[in-house]
């Protein structure tokens, strides 16, 4: 049927899905330093999206702007079409944008299970009006055990956090984030401090738990281990001096001449391309 006969377009082409999170001209200056400088970023729902770039590129500042921990000098942050730029960090967390815990935010003298339960309870986005206090407590305990199973920590659920080896503490941070059932996980170098040989396994776990859940997560990962980033990401954004230098699939980024010249050749010599 032609357009002339019906007065309509012959094909219905659905527009690309709106991004779950978007920034427009996002900037943050520290005095004269443009730590984040006019970043237009789009995050698709369900994607595992990594941000790479050398030290000082502005990656942590950018994540802080997304989570509301820092406020921009200019520009906007839009979550599901809603301008959240001026919301305080705790309101942004309640919307389902979760930031990884640093181990300093856990209670070392409580058990692994209690820490995860407290993380689940802290956000309290559930509608529990009809449940008694005791029933709610039970729901959180069950959720905590489920999450501990998923990250492989159920066996140490009753151990004190202070007694855990470093690798398990990193798993605990992930568990606490998962317990909050966020839609978006912002992870800033979650493998910091892990031995090189532990990194691929840990990141595979992150990818697996993000993808396997009934309610699949969207992940923004800042990570410097390039082979991990290349193998796990759906999309990669490259930051350089506060700006986005390139964005694309791992193959596109690996083939991008500018990125290669700027980074991959010299700074990321662990990657064979
Ligand atoms: N609170 C701050 N005050 C002043 N300068 C800062 C602050 N936070 C970050 N910077 C500067 O902003 C730039 C970007 O830092 P950062 O976002 O931490 O980069 P990355 O995470 O990519 O290493 C760096 O030059 C850093 O020194
Ligand atoms: Mg950083």
Mean pLDDT by 10 residues, the chain (273 residues): 53 74 98 97 96 94 96 98 95 90 77 93 66 74 93 96 92 90 92 89 88 81 90 95 96 90 59 43
- Which ligand is nearest the CA of 53, by number? 1
Q: Give residue 272's pLDDT.
A: 42
CA of 98 to the centre of ligand 2 (A): 17
Radius of gyration, CA atoms only, the chain: 21
End-to-end CA distance of the chain: 49
Report if pTM > 0.85: yes
Half-sphere exposure of 1 (CA within 13 A, CB side): 8
The listed CATH number (3.20.20.70, 3.40.50.300, 3.30.565.10, 3.40.50.800) that belongs to domain 19-93+220-273: 3.40.50.300
Ligand nearest to the Cα of 35, by number:
1
Whether residue 29 contacts residue 72, with contact meaning beta carbons closer than 8 Å, is answered with no
Q: 255, 219, 212, 245: which is closest to 234 by C-alpha?
A: 219
Strand order across the beta sheet in which 33-43 lies: 33-43, 21-30, 74-79, 82-83
Predicted pLDDT at 5: 53
In this predicted structure, what is the pLDDT of residue 7?
58
Q: What is the per-residue pLDDT for 246?
A: 95
| Probe residue for ligand 1, chosen from 27, 30, 72, 263 as the CB with the greatest number of ligand atoms within 8 Å | 30
Nearest listed ligand to the Cα of residue 192: 2
Tokens 């050749």 correspond to what residue?
Answer: 265
Distance of CA 58 from the midpoint of ligand 1 (Å): 6
Distance from Cα 239 to the centre of ligand 1, integer Å: 13
Query: Quick one: pLDDT at residue 18?
Result: 86
pLDDT at position 103:
59
Nearest CA, atom 8, ligand 1: 61
Residue 193's pLDDT is 85
Q: Residue 248 gets which letter from DSSP?
A: E
Residues 6+ apart with CB under 8 A from 170: 103, 190, 191, 193, 194, 202
Domain positions in the chain: 19-93+220-273
Q: What is the pLDDT of residue 129?
A: 62
- φ, ψ of residue 114 to 5 degrees: the values are -65, -40
The Cα 236–Cα 224 span in angstroms is 12
Residues with CB under 6 A from ligand 1: 30, 33, 35, 53, 55-61
Phi, psi values for residue 197, rounded to 5°: -75, -15
Going by C-alpha positions, the residue among 121, 194, 120, 109 that lies closest to residue 159 is 109
What distance in Å separates the CA atoms of residue 157 and residue 96, rounded to the nearest whole number?
25
């Amino acid at each position: 049927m032609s357009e002339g006969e019906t007065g309509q377009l012959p094909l219905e082409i659905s527009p690309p899905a709106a991004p779950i999170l978007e920034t427009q001209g996002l900037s943050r200056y520290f005095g004269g330093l443009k730590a984040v400088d006019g970043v237009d970023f789009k995050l698709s729902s369900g994607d595992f999206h990594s941000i790479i770039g050398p030290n000082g590129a502005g990656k942590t500042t950018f994540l802080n702007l997304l989570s509301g921990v820092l406020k921009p000098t200019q520009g906007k942050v839009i979550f599901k079409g809603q301008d959240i730029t001026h919301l305080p960090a705790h309101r942004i967390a309640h919307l389902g944008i979760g930031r990884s815990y640093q181990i300093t935010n856990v209670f070392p003298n409580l058990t692994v299970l209690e820490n995860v339960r407290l993380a689940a309870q802290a956000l309290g986005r559930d509608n529990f009006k009809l449940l008694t206090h005791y029933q709610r407590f039970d729901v959180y305990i069950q959720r905590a055990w489920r999450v501990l199973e998923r990250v492989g920590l159920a066996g140490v659920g009753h151990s004190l956090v202070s007694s855990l080896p470093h690798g398990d503490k990193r798993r605990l941070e992930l568990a606490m984030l998962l317990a909050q059932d966020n839609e978006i996980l912002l992870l800033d170098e979650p493998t910091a401090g892990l031995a090189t040989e532990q990194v691929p396994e840990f990141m595979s776990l992150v990818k697996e738990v993000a993808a396997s859940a009934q309610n699949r997560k969207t992940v923004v990962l800042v990570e410097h281990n390039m082979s991990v980033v290349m193998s796990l990401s759906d999309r990669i954004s490259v930051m350089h001096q506060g700006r986005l230098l390139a964005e694309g699939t791992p193959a596109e980024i690996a083939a991008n001449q500018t990125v290669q010249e700027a980074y991959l050749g010299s700074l990321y010599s662990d990657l064979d391309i």
